[in-house]
Chain A
């Protein structure tokens, strides 16, 4: 792909990702937020592919935009929030405070990027995706697997513990009000469950 077209694709993907992530935060209806999140994931996966990380790009699409977002949507639809259940619109002072903090972080990050020698050095080399040392196999499943099982073996194994802890935690926290209701409350407990959960 010629650098010009690559720039164009990057520009489109970047704008789409930024705008849709802003929409995720500002929509009040969680379904809309989830939908814009899918758009954002798709745009980010385009950026990954432009960076020659094909495998990561497809995983982003399959796992995040596909599997995880479907799960999100299921949860949202199960909870089924109606207009009255949605949280109160926060006040003007809270909003301006949040906007101020965001602006502060944004200006700090953009200052750092615009004054960085490393970024300057890379942009002098041409567009960032055209790094000279990237080989043909970069970003393929084979390269990814070799990297994962050789250089990051320990982390890979530790991730399985991370997921196990997550499962145990989710099961434990979701098992509320089953076994530990005092005996004299057992009859009334059925009603309590549906109200409180």
Chain B
């Protein structure tokens, strides 16, 4: 037997490979640091990171929008439009988070290469997860990104809240990985030893009771990773304890890669009505609980955490349709929604990072009168919140519209109705910070360190992207549809 690697295989691994190398370069570039060094901004690390992410993004364009290459690396991964779009979301999120990190971490006195390197390594694993097509590669990619995110949650080692969040996340995460692995073992057994998704889809073991239980356990594992109720308890603690610039990355990139992978998995293994009903129930509870719990939060980060849970609920709707095996095309709303959610969330966390540079400001009343002192930040945050609430002319509105209209088309009226009610509830708490920014008097003690250019740039670009996707969604919707069609070939 001879070991050969084809050109397509090298091209497929290129984005993830570039990100892994970037992480290594960042680690080496920061060798021999001193204590003082941790307070400096270290633009060279951010620049290495940005270069790496841009190269990885360029690699996606080299791969282009062409057809799927079929199974690569003996079925471990594939290179199709769907995976590339997932990698695109992950890479853009990592790019902006790296850009924002410098001044925020320097003000906390803990700016070290671990932060940027973990983002790069994690992003590489996430990009691979979006393209993974066999159970082993899915599991290893999930574990790699999870480890990076666990450390990120506890990045401020000396903060009690960070350690608490990270510890909860780690213990529960390890537990959920157990479920995932057991589920995969059951699927492997039920399908007569198939690892790759295509073999699993082709095998006749899909009606087996072992297979259903396996899929259920895999769903539980993923539900934990994306923070769906009742596996959401870690989310608020982790969001509160983690560095604000990393929360945007954790929220979007983990959710995006897990959902892309889960969508691919369900399109291959779907067809179970009982499991679809169970997932629909999870989706309903997640939407309602996320939005209701967010109503009463005073901390902005906790509010965003519950908002993230609620958005997971919306994103589960297309998966319910995919799982029931009725409409593969329903998955098309996921890539679009994730792009919209990424732009919106990054803008929001950029503003949160900007107001918490040099302090621990995190309450809604800390925003009072922000429109006078920092009109650009206030505008960016308002756009982000309006988009998260799903108000027209924004990307968030189009995303929700796609998901809910898909649900109606496939006869899931109840899901669509709950989605609309949940969105209406959410308008209340999303508008509270907006009111406080534009209609309240600024507090006398309000002192704001000027935001670094990285944060300002991120908020501006992501804010504009949110509006632009809301006004001209056509091309991205088109691309999303084509990408889902490409999965099944």
Contacts and interface: CB of A to CB of B under 8 A. Distances in A.
A156 to B, nearest CB: 9
Contacts of B110: 180
A169 B213 contact: no
A164 B121 contact: yes
A15 B157 CA distance: 43
Contacts of A180: 35, 38, 108-110, 158
Contact of A109 (B125, B208, B213): B213
A67 interface: no
Given A154-B13, A180-B110, A169 B140 contact: no
Contacts of A152: 74, 76, 136
A161 B124 contact: yes
B3 A149 contact: yes
Contacts of A159: 140
B10 to A, nearest CB: 12
Contacts of A166: 147
Interface string A159-188: 101101110110111011111100000000
B76 A116 contact: no
Given A175-B157, A176-B158, A165 B140 contact: no
Contacts of A179: 35, 38, 109
Given A158-B137, A162-B140, A168 B151 contact: yes
A161 B121 contact: yes
Nearest to B36: A179
Interface in A89-127: 108-109, 111-113, 115-119
B148 interface: yes
Interface residues of A, number: 36
Given A112-B210, A165-B118, A168-B117, A146 B148 contact: no
Contact of B155 (A150, A155, A172): A172
B125 A119 contact: no
Contacts of A117: 205, 207-209
Given A152-B74, A169-B151, A161 B189 contact: no
A135 interface: no
Interface in B247-304: none
A153 interface: yes
B144 interface: yes
A173 B192 contact: no
Contacts of A155: 76, 136-137, 140
Nearest to A160: B20
B186 A112 contact: yes
A165 B147 contact: yes
Interface in B22-40: 27, 35, 38
Contacts of B192: 118
Per DSSP, chain A at the interface is helix
Interface residues of B, number: 51
A2 interface: no
Given A149-B3, A152-B136, A168 B114 contact: yes
A195 interface: no
A79 B21 CA distance: 37
A165 B141 CA distance: 12
A171 B137 CA distance: 26
Given A116-B209, A169-B118, A179-B38, A161 B157 contact: no
A176 B38 CA distance: 13
Nearest to B148: A165
Given A154-B13, A161-B121, A118 B140 contact: no
B3 to A, nearest CB: 7
A158 B144 contact: yes
Is chain B's interface secondary structure helix, strand, loop, or mixed overall?
Answer: helix
A165 B38 contact: no
A172 B157 contact: yes
Contact of A115 (B108, B144, B155, B209): B209
A151 interface: yes
B109 A173 contact: no
A116 B144 contact: no
Contact of B157 (A151, A164, A168, A177): A177
A154 B133 CA distance: 12
Given A158-B125, A172-B157, A116 B210 contact: yes
A154 B150 CA distance: 23
B451 interface: no
Interface in B199-252: 205, 207-210, 212-213
Contacts of A162: 125, 140, 143-144, 147
Contact of B210 (A118, A150, A175, A178): A118
A81 B84 CA distance: 50
Nearest to B155: A172
Nearest to A159: B140
A183 to B, nearest CB: 10
Nearest to B157: A176
A193 to B, nearest CB: 11
Nearest to B4: A150
Nearest to B12: A154
B86 interface: no
Given A165-B118, A168-B118, A169-B151, A118 B137 contact: no
A153 to B, nearest CB: 6
B74 A158 contact: no
28 contacts: A112-B209, A112-B213, A113-B210, A116-B190, A116-B209, A118-B189, A118-B192, A118-B208, A119-B189, A150-B74, A151-B74, A152-B136, A153-B76, A154-B76, A155-B136, A155-B137, A158-B137, A161-B20, A161-B124, A162-B143, A164-B121, A168-B27, A168-B118, A168-B151, A169-B147, A172-B157, A180-B35, A180-B158
Interface of A: 108-109, 111-113, 115-119, 146, 149-155, 158-159, 161-162, 164-166, 168-169, 171-173, 175-180
The 8 closest A-B pairs by CB, nearest first: A169-B151, A176-B157, A112-B213, A179-B35, A154-B73, A151-B74, A116-B210, A154-B76
